[in-house]
Structure 1
C-alpha cells in the first residue's frame, strides 16, 4: 500500500523545499501540486484568458494537458508536451494561479491527477488543501507556515539572486493578499486539517523542520 505525507501551508512557507528534502531522504516521490496549478495559469496567460472569464477558463482546462514526469530525480512539469519548469515561477504566474485556483473545473482536473499519483507510489505532496481534500487519509499531515515578513524576505532574496528588480514591501503585500484569497475562497480554502501537525518555520532552519517531519513520520 502506498504511503503519503501531506504538507499544506501559505505561499512562501518553505513547503516545496521541505517536501523535496523529506521525499529524498525517505525515498518517496515529491509531487509539487502548486507547479501543476502554475502550469495551468501559464496556459491561461498565454491564451490571454482573464481569471474571471469563467467559460473560457473551463474550456481552457479541457485543452491544457498538464503532466508530471520524474527525470534524473527531478520533477518536471509539462504543459502540452513542453517542459515549463523555468517559466512558472514568476510573480505574474503566481497571481494568476491564486486567481484561477478557486475555479471548480481547475481543481477537479488537477486533484484527480494528484489522487492517482498517490494511489500507486509513495509520495510527499505539498499545496493548500492536500491534507483536507487531496489526501485525507495521508499517513502524516503537516501545516507549515511562517510570518508574512519572513516569507516576503525569503522571496525577495530569491528574486535579487536572479537579478530581478523587486520591492520587499510590495512582495509582503502580495503575500498577505494571496493568503486572504486562499483562506477565504469558497472552494477548498487554505486551512489546517484537524489532524495536521502545526509548524511555524519563522525561526527554524530547513534541516530542523525536515528532521522533525521525518521523526514524526517514523513514529506514525
Structure 2
C-alpha cells in the first residue's frame, strides 16, 4: 500500500510529536525532513559548503544527537533558502514518501512541494508565544543557557525567513487541514490528527 501523510508547520508547533505518534499508531514509516536540513546546517557550521554537504549527506549524519540545538536550527533555516540545497534533498524525500507500507513526512514544504498529491495534508501551527515557550522549556531541559526573550526572537526570525523565502515558502498546502495546537494538549492534538488520517485510510481501503 502506498499512503502518504504530509505534515507541515512552523518550529515547535508540535508537528514532530504528532507525526511520530501518527506513524506509530498506523504502522507507517516516519521521516522528520527537518533533520536533513539540520544535518546540512551542522556541516556548514564546520565550514563545509552547504550544497556539497547536501549532496553528500549520509543516513548516519541524521542520527547524530546534537541536531536539536538552537544554533543548528538557525543554520538549518539559513541553508533551507538555498535552491541547490533543496533540490539535492528532494529526491530522497520523495523516494521515502513512495515506500511500500505508507509513510508520514513532516517538514515545511511536504504538502506544497515534496508530496502535493499526499493522501493527507495537515498544517500544524500555534502562536509564536506558545511555540517559543515550548522551545524554551525544551532547550533549558537540555541544559541550554537561553532566555524566553531570546527564544521568542529566534522563533519569529525563523518564521519570517521560512515564510518569506522565494523557494518553497512555508504555507499551508492546497487542501491541507489546519490544526492549531495553541490551546490543545498533546493527546487532544494527536486525537484530531488520527481522526483525519483514519478517515482517509478508510476511504482508500
* TM-score in terms of structure 1 length: 0.86
Structure 1 distance, partners of 2:57, 2:143, is 32
Correspondent of 1:126 among 81, 106, 116 = 106
Equivalent residue number for residue 70 of structure 1: none
Q: For structure 2, which runs of at least 5 residues remain unmatched after alignment?
A: 201-205
Q: For structure 1, which runs of at least 5 residues remain unmatched after alignment?
A: 50-55, 68-77
Equivalent residue number for residue 96 of structure 2: 117
Structure 2 distance, partners of 1:83, 1:139, is 28
Equivalent residue number for residue 89 of structure 1: 68
**1:61 CA displacement:** 3.0
Q: How many residues end up aligned between the 2 structures?
A: 199
Structure 2 distance, partners of 1:66, 1:7, is 23
CA contact (8 A) 1:32 1:126 kept: yes
Structure 2 distance, partners of 1:29, 1:178, is 28
Structure 1 distance, partners of 2:141, 2:154, is 19
Provide the secondary structure at the position in 1 that maps to 2:98.
helix
Structure 1 distance, partners of 2:174, 2:17, is 24
Provide the secondary structure at the position in 2 that maps to 1:149.
helix
Structure 1 distance, partners of 2:119, 2:167, is 24
CA contact (8 A) 2:7 2:107 kept: yes
Correspondent of 2:178 among 182, 198, 209 = 198
* TM-score in terms of structure 2 length: 0.93
- 1:153-172 deviations in Å (ceiling 9; x for gaps): 10111122222211001100
Equivalent residue number for residue 99 of structure 1: 78
More helix as a share of residues: 2
CA contact (8 A) 2:40 2:50 kept: no
CA contact (8 A) 1:6 1:126 kept: yes
Equivalent residue number for residue 188 of structure 2: 208
Structure 2 distance, partners of 1:215, 1:179, is 28
Structure 2 distance, partners of 1:141, 1:60, is 29
What's the Cα RMSD here? Answer: 1.3
